Structure 1
């Protein structure tokens, strides 16, 4: 897999820029993120293949991948929304191909952005005339019964509430970042929002992810789209956590005086009238990404139950971000 490294540096830089990072990121940093993302994708494929084998099939399904992240309800809800809008866009495209362009234009806006910021390519929105299909999961309680309770328009579950909170937080962050941008800068920001590991790069992504090596399953378009969604989420989480690590490090340097403390000088907390301008914000480094990954790998509370009991040479499994 060594020959596949470094193929997504531009996409990673764009994703990091949308997540709050500067536009100039070192090659070492992007290479480390790409290695982490590739490791996560291969782990997903390995576990999904095991789940498929338990069902007696060799081909992994979308449910196998979603089952791996079932404990992150907000992410599952965002993914289900992404797949729902993907189905709406596909239906609108089919209607357009069959001559229903005028009707599709009334019910669907192909130029609108994804309602969940930072989830890859835009998938469009709809108006109140069309209702997007809800993606069902086989482990949902409602799937245990042959008859379904009619859905109410005002019905919202906890997953949607968590997704809404996360989406609003990202929208607020994007609003703060774009508040002082001019038209050209905002256009670049909008283009970076469309960055994806898989969009129009399906063949390259399959080779990079290890299809045919990690798993013999041949992925369909839905599998590739889900992995593209999850890779975007991984880069976003790594960047946001790395920025927190760097902020703590910078605050500690300011309080301790940095290099000036070694020369016995006391640095002022507040800038003076004749102080030189502060240096431009430096990008996160590989050490920040490494620490962010370590934090994201910390086990949940239920995973630490009875962890004090000696178990010999116990190695904790990789945690999916």
Structure 2
């Protein structure tokens, strides 16, 4: 059988609809569409996103996580493990240490917040059933990252801080004109993540992971759910840039002057499938190309969107 031409693969992906596993796609729409609408709103879309656009975003997330699972399964097999662990995922993220740091920071704060909610102080964590056990996931993450970068510490990182400030700025711009009811709805939407819908999330990929002998453990599934949410956020952000660009062109045509264009103007219409498709096309046209197996078929794939 002739090898697939990677350049031809790129052209085909840019001219046809994104192809995903049909079972996973429909199952995701049944299980998680309502939750994804809230995630898209929290990421910058309007309060009532388009369902067709949300379905497309679900398809992209599904395909991206399938690639992640395929690569992670290969890594687990290389170290003769019978399950996919956090370390396998961290190795795949090694090209973006700032994203590894954000991942570690998220679970470190999440676990310590749980301790605070239980009425404990940080100084006494080590005295309560062993501090290492309480921060199991973040400890594994740290140890995995240290293997890649021995100088790694959970300190302020310029790239991580820049990403955080950009998200806070986008959230501030989005909420600036909201009334009380709209802001309360937005606040609730920001709490919705795949991590808080783990049962549905696991059902979504149950058919796909059956292809592998090595399957993720629960710690790895938590990390994967976090990365799936990051994928949604990055897709919405890229699509908003496309929408702003389109609005700017339309305004220039109407006013005849670029100076009168305000690309930060609040978007009152939902993201369209064209916005998301164009954002995905541009990303795949510039992201590095890699080869891996999906459903036991050799495929050419791009770097994953959550590394953006």
TM-score normalised to the size of structure 1?
A: 0.68
Between Structure 1 and Structure 2, the one with more helix by share is 2
Q: Does 2:199 match 1:203?
A: yes
Q: C-alpha distance in 2, partners of 1:315/1:212? A: 17
Q: Following superposition of structure 1 onto structure 2, how do residues 81-120 of structure 1 map, counting pairs within 5 Å? A: 81-89=105-113, 91=115, 96=118, 101=119, 103-104=120-121
Q: Paired residue for 1:4? A: 27
Partner residue, 1:54? 78
Matched residue, 1:142? 150
Is residue 43 of structure 1 aligned with residue 67 of structure 2? yes
Shift in CA distance, 254/216, structure 1 to aligned 2, threshold 3 Å: same
Q: Structure 1 pair 212/166, CA: closer, same or farther in 2 (3 Å)?
A: closer
| Residues 236-251 of structure 1 mapped to structure 2, 5 A cutoff | 236-251=233-248
- Tell me the distance in 1 between the aligned counterparts of 2:37 and 2:172: 19
CA distance, structure 2, for counterparts of residue 175 and residue 280 of structure 1: 14
Match of 1:319 among 284, 303, 306: 303
Shift of 1:79: 0.2
- Structure index of larger Rg: 1
2:185 to 174, 188, 192: 188
- Residue in structure 1 matched with residue 50 of structure 2 by the alignment: 26
Rounded Cα–Cα distance in structure 1 between residues aligned with 2:55 and 2:283: 18
Q: Deviation digits for residues 3-46 of structure 1, max 9, x if unmatched? A: 40312222222222122211122221011000000011111111
For residue 165 of structure 2, give the secondary structure of its aligned residue in structure 1: helix
- Partners of 2:266 and 2:91 in 1: CA distance: 46
| Paired residues of 2:46 and 2:269 also in contact (CA < 8 A) | yes
How far off is 1:183 after superposition? 3.0
Cα 1:87–1:198 change in 2 (3 A) is closer
* Superposition RMSD in Å: 3.3
- Secondary structure of residue in 2 paired with 1:298: helix
| Cα-to-partner distance string for 1:180-214 (whole Å, 9 max, x where unaligned) | 33332222111111111231x32321121245424
* 5+ long unaligned stretches in structure 1: 109-131, 144-148, 258-266, 271-277, 305-313
Report the Cα offset of residue 106 of structure 1: 8.9
Q: What is the deviation of 1:232? A: 1.2
Q: 1:279 to 1:178 in 2, by over 3 A?
A: closer
Unmatched tracts of structure 2, length 5 or more = 1-22, 126-137, 259-264, 290-297
Question: Does the residue aligned with 1:317 lie in a helix, a strand or coil?
Answer: strand
Tell me by how many angstroms 1:105 deviates.
Answer: 9.0
Matches within 5 A, 1:234-313: 234-257=231-254, 281-300=268-287, 303=288
Match of 2:128 in 1: none
TM-superposed CA distance for 1:246, in Å, is 1.2
- The TM-score, its normalising length taken from structure 2, stands at 0.71
Contact 1:66 1:76 in 2 (8 A): yes
C-alpha change, 1:214 and 1:188, in structure 2 (3 Å) is farther
Question: CA 1:232–1:107 in 2, change beyond 3 Å: closer, same or farther?
Answer: farther
**C-alpha separation in 1, matches of 2:64 and 2:267:** 33
1:90: how far off?
5.1
Q: Is the 8 A contact 1:73 1:162 kept in 2?
A: no
